[in-house]
Amino acid sequence: MAANRPLVAGNWKMNGLAAALAELKALQERLAEHPAPEADIMVFPPATLLAQARYALRGSDILLGAQDCHIAASGAHTGDLSAEMLADVGASAVIVGHSERRADHAETDALVKAKASAAHRAGLTAIVCIGETAEERRDGAALEVVGRQLKGSLPDRARASDTVIAYEPVWAIGTGLTPTPEDVAEMHGFIRRELGLLAESAEAWALRILYGGSVKPGNAGELLSVPNVDGALVGGASLKAADFYAIASIYAGNTRRR
Ligand code: PEP
């Protein structure tokens, strides 16, 4: 992945049987037929489909990622997958700290940081998710919460080439609700400044910061042209090749602004 390009990442979550691989083929066909967007395109199918997805994507520029990893490289952790296993099956990135895992599995910032470090150990890019709940935003605590999550979840020596931040307001995920472009600009600008302060490496300030939460073809243009938005983490709309391609097509011309 080139760190200076936008990234459009599709998180399939716990969706997709083998038949869903047809959507990957359809996505490949669209990318082949139309001018390729000036963005990295990455898909995160469920772990059960990674091996088949790798096969389906051979010869394609579409990158493969996984949705979670364990902190250990191997061992007695029934049902878990290590970052090394994900690299072995062809993933080049892994999502860590998605709000659904923070909520469903009580994942803490410290655990998310350890998972991001495990990703680096295995040579994977860590996509580190952070974002406030509706209540936290209502209480005026969004910046404070996101700042705390960023500080606690950012792996040591994060570099633009191995770490991506995904700002995903929890209340916007899967709800059809989105923040205003002004709110997105405020939050992404804040994250950018915080990265500059937290950075241990000179290039950490340049980490890509994705926006995630109800990104659809109809709102992608507005949300993704906000300064400091370096792409999108897309859930529901990534399940259909046509919608996901339409979102990535925002970058068909160079619309990136910082
Ligand atoms: C997500 O799960 O990361 C996400 C952003 O979901 P959705 O696009 O469906 O809101």
Distance CA 191, CA 197 (A): 10
pLDDT at 201: 63
Rounded to two decimals, what is the model's pTM? Answer: 0.95
238 CA from centroid of ligand 1 (Å): 9
The pLDDT, as a whole number, for residue 256 is 43
User: What residues have CB less than 8 Å from 31, skipping those under 6 apart?
Assistant: 37, 41, 60, 61, 62, 245
For ligand 1, what atom is nearest to the CA of residue 234?
Answer: 8
Q: Which of 132, 136, 168, 194 is catalytic?
A: 168
pLDDT at residue 2, rounded to an integer: 61
**Where do we find the tokens 């996901």?**
244
Under 8 Å between Cβ of 6 and 39? yes
Q: Is 130 in the pocket of ligand 1 (CB under 6 A)?
A: no
55 — alpha (psi -120 to 50), left (phi > 0) or beta?
A: alpha
Least Cα distance to 97 among 118, 76, 123, 72 occurs for 118
Task: Kindly list the averaged pLDDT for each block of 10 residues, start to end, along the chain of length 258.
Answer: 84 98 96 85 98 96 97 98 98 98 98 98 98 98 98 94 97 98 98 88 83 98 97 98 96 55
Residue 36: predicted pLDDT: 73
Residue 255 has what pLDDT? 41
Task: Tell which one of 7, 12, 13, 170 to mutate to probe ligand 1, the residue whose CB is within 8 A of the most ligand atoms.
Answer: 13
Check if the beta carbon of residue 153 is closer than 8 Å to that of residue 97: yes
pLDDT of residue 1: 63
Helix H or strand E encompassing 130: strand 125-130
